[in-house]
């Protein structure tokens, strides 16, 4: 299918620009994981070999028994296409069991399917000793973040139906059978296939807001949760300007034990407010004060008040007293 302006622009972006949507490091079950984005031309030979080796170890038997068959030459050509991009996860805390450090990766391209701009995930592989750590979920979300940042609508991928573990995993994180999949409808007239095409809309959850200095003077990224679609997020950023994190929080806003995540300052040091704080404080408490005044002076329009007033007027018109007065003896 012909490419769109968005896919052409994304395919022309280098790895450094794509990496702006990717967390540089995170901690997963006491493991320090780093993420790098590379194009095919950026891969070292040793990285190239390990990526292929991990794929072959995980998928060789599944491909042999599938309709795709095992064709290493054709599969290498697909994986290491000039338009392929790689998100590589490395365990930087333990180089003993895995000297190269690569414990998982995803391969993706920007493409166009069914008149929609998509991030197509060609491979997502995890080293056997690094499974059950949430790396697959994290790599999938990174693809969604990249897609949302570059104007893509969906993340799409192909799963062999014999790979039950992968099928259950993708469905558990929100993927559904896409309308272009051969098994999309029960009454499909196409021949029975042994694979499914799954998709999920791109929702950006992790967005790098800025680099800030921590107390050691080192550079690190901070991330905030975002659930907005790309168009609404862009509109908000233009209206409010650049947002600044209030502290140097760990990745994914892990709990710090401090109120609002801010560590108390040393004695004698005064906290500097951010631009938004006074507006928020005055706006919130001013609104509460105004609401209190308005409620206090609000006219009494209840039916009971109206009925009492009406009864008094009618009794006065008849010459009756509406107040009780005791008769003197």
**191 DSSP 8-state letter:** P
Q: What mean pLDDT value characterizes the chain? A: 80
Q: Is the pLDDT of residue 158 over 60?
A: yes
**Distances in whole angstroms, Cα of residue 93 to Cα of each of 86, 125, 187:** 21, 20, 51
Strand partners, 91: 33
What is the rounded CA–CA span in Å between residue 321 and residue 311?
11
The dihedral over CA atoms of 299, 301, 307, 309, expressed in degrees to the nearest 10, equals 20
Tell me which long-range contacts 287-296 makes (C-beta under 8 A, separation of at least 24).
none
d(CA 125, CA 51) in angstroms, rounded, equals 9
pLDDT tens, residue by residue, 24-72:
888 877 788 899 999 999 999 999 999 999 999 999 999 999 888 999 9
Q: Are 193 and 200 within 8 A, CB to CB?
A: no
Q: What pLDDT score does 190 carry? A: 52
Q: What is the pLDDT of residue 219?
A: 36
By C-alpha distance, which of 108, 100, 104, 91 is closest to 39?
108
Is 85 or 300 the better-scoring residue by pLDDT? 85
Spatial distance between the Cα atoms of 202 and 146, rounded to a whole number of angstroms: 8
pLDDT in tens, 127-153: 988 888 889 999 999 999 999 989 899
Phi, then psi, of 99 in degrees rounded to 5: -55, -35
Query: pLDDT tens across 185-217, in order?
Result: 766 555 578 899 999 998 766 543 333 333 333
**What CA–CA distance (Å, rounded) separates 194 from 162?**
7
């Amino acid at each position: 299918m012909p490419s769109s302006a968005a896919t052409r622009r994304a395919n022309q972006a280098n790895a450094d620009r794509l990496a702006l949507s990717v967390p540089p490091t995170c901690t997963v079950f006491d493991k320090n994981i780093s993420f790098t984005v590379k194009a095919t031309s950026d891969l070292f030979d040793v990285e190239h070999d390990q990526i292929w080796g991990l794929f072959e170890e995980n998928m060789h038997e599944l491909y042999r028994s599938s309709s795709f068959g095992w064709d290493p030459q054709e599969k290498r050509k697909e994986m290491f296409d000039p338009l392929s991009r790689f998100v590589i996860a490395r365990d930087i805390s333990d180089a003993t069991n895995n000297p190269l450090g690569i414990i998982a990766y995803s391969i993706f391209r920007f493409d166009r399917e069914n008149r929609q701009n998509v991030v197509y995930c060609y491979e997502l592989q995890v080293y056997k000793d690094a499974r059950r750590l949430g790396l697959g979920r994290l790599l999938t979300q990174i693809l969604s973040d990249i897609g949302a940042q570059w104007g893509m609508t969906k993340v799409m991928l192909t799963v062999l139906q014999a790979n039950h573990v992968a099928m259950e995993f993708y469905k558990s994180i929100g993927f559904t059978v896409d309308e272009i999949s051969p098994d999309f409808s029960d009454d499909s007239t196409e021949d029975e296939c042994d694979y499914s095409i799954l998709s999920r809309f791109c929702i950006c959850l992790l967005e790098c807001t800025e680099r800030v200095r921590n107390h050691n003077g080192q550079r690190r990224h901070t991330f905030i949760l975002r659930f907005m679609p790309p168009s609404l997020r862009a509109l908000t950023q233009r209206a409010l300007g650049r947002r600044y994190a209030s502290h140097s929080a760990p990745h994914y806003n892990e709990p710090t034990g401090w109120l609002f995540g801010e560590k108390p300052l040393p004695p004698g040091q005064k906290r500097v407010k951010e631009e938004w704080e006074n507006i928020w404080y005055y706006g919130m408490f001013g609104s509460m004060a105004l609401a209190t005044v308005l409620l206090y002076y609000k006219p009494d329009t209840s039916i009971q008040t109206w009925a009492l007033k009406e009864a008094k007027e009618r009794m006065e018109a008849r010459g009756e007293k509406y107040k009780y007065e005791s008769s003197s003896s």
